[in-house]
Structure 1
């Protein structure tokens, strides 16, 4: 677990199997550290819980630090965010290609403490990405930042993710998933309860939305136990992201950096699941385990 170089080589081996691109169009000459190696380094750091770039470059072997500087690593990592998401989708496709049941939920991502929100300049370089004040019903608390929306399979592999300001209601995310999934059952909590959205999803892309009904609704029926049990899978994933990958700890100052950090942590989780399944043939959700 603590052998950074061995973990790096294992993850790089997996990434090379699913990706043939080593360079991007914007690069005029081949860098000493290829794009794939840089992404691999980022995923290895997230897997090992190294959440600070200063700490990462103190622990890196000289064979890697001789190839890239920390500031260059930071800039290139942000530019590779779209490629990182492509890798995540390729990894997820090995699990979710024939899935017909998914779970949707959201979690709060705090940018800074609520008391600092009025003078904070974090993630405010783009108008569309301004953080906002929101309320988390699960924690019964207000916070300032963004909200992570996610869809995962019942086996625990993320299929779709998105970020929004904290004040955006969960149900608005369902309007954006029509081009991403279809012909399936989607399980959510009461935050996604809407007869209009439910009908629209079914008619447009044959998605059956299953949510618990409120106790005071007419013709109240309790949600089937199998659906309530499956919905816990995404809550477990969120707990793993908070515990091992420290997704709620934020060091980023720009929204691009914030988005890249979140995407790196989720891609690292998916990569470890892939290694568990196709390299060691073990439970994919054993995340705190050696991959060497």
Structure 2
């Protein structure tokens, strides 16, 4: 679809979910912002999809190209402040969006979110109390920062997300991320832990992972191979979040703004997923959304 239709569709979806999660006025005093909350969130999500992950980039783009559509777009500081203040609204919208896709097959995985180059880690002061060192097996390198923890359903919609200090074991975070699901949960070898399997079993969740070489596997090999093929979707989603939405680039200086930026990237991904599905496209082929 053309870019203008894409913006219209994103705005209509934002307005629909905003009205679901906001049942009473958000502001009790002072002057209401001229730019509506739905307009701000729409601009954020469109900007994220187009690779503009900084508030100033998004503000400049719409100021230069779409001011006639957003005539109440004011100064950059006011725009950035309104974006950050809508953090919890975007979290609630994500929860509503995730509920639209019921599924009994999910996949979980983690990925690194470095806050700086490894060589600068010992001089880095911004997240000194929160970030830590860890090792990324996929890239075979050490890094300093956080780890993102992602939960998707079989189709690739993001159902849950959180981030934690990089040194925290992903098995310790898994119960929080996969708290409200049921059925099959696929993961890699990093999630092998008998206590974790038992915990999920008590919640009605069947955790399945490939086993290590020194472990006996009585499951049919074809079933394990099928599970691992389906699990590739989460690697695709992580790749999209990294390449298109720049989720591994930290441009915040405190946990509040970092959490806000990560939330809107996840929400932008899910909105593109839903829109692709409505158009009859493969949900994760985002390149089909906008045609010049």
**TM-score, normalization by structure 1:** 0.88
Question: 1:220 deviation in Å?
Answer: 6.3
CA distance in 2: counterparts of 1:82 and 1:236, whole angstroms: 27
Question: 1:55 deviation in Å?
Answer: 2.8
Tell me whether 1:261 sits opposite 2:261 in the alignment.
Answer: yes
Match of 2:35 in 1: 33
User: 1:139-288 to 2 correspondence within 5 Å?
Assistant: 139-177=139-177, 179-181=179-181, 183-203=182-202, 205-218=203-216, 224-278=224-278, 280-288=279-287
- Contact residue 73 and residue 79 of structure 2 kept, 8 A: no
CA distance in 2: counterparts of 1:27 and 1:142, whole angstroms: 48
The structure 2 residue matched to 1:62, chosen from 63, 67, 80, is 67
Match of 2:88 in 1: 82
* Structure 1 pair 62–27 and aligned structure 2 pair: CA distance change class (3 A): farther
Equivalenced residues, count: 282
- Specify every segment of 5 or more residues in structure 1 that has no aligned partner in the other structure, as ranges: none
* Structure 1 pair 178–239 and aligned structure 2 pair: CA distance change class (3 A): closer
* Structure 1 pair 227–197 and aligned structure 2 pair: CA distance change class (3 A): same
Question: 1:108 deviation in Å?
Answer: 0.3
- The more displaced of 233-242 and 282-291 is 282-291
- Specify every segment of 5 or more residues in structure 2 that has no aligned partner in the other structure, as ranges: none
Tell me the alpha carbon deviations over residues 202-236 of structure 1, each in whole angstroms, 9 at most, x when there is no partner.
12x11110011111124565561111111111001
- Contact residue 23 and residue 34 of structure 1 kept, 8 A: no
- Contact residue 276 and residue 289 of structure 2 kept, 8 A: no
- Contact residue 43 and residue 58 of structure 2 kept, 8 A: no
The structure 2 residue matched to 1:44, chosen from 20, 43, 46, is 46
CA distance in 1: counterparts of 2:25 and 2:47, whole angstroms: 21
Secondary structure in 1 aligned to 2:123? coil
**TM-score, normalization by structure 2:** 0.88
Tell me the alpha carbon deviations over residues 65-113 of structure 1, each in whole angstroms, 9 at most, x when there is no partner.
7433211222222221121121122222222x2x101000000011111
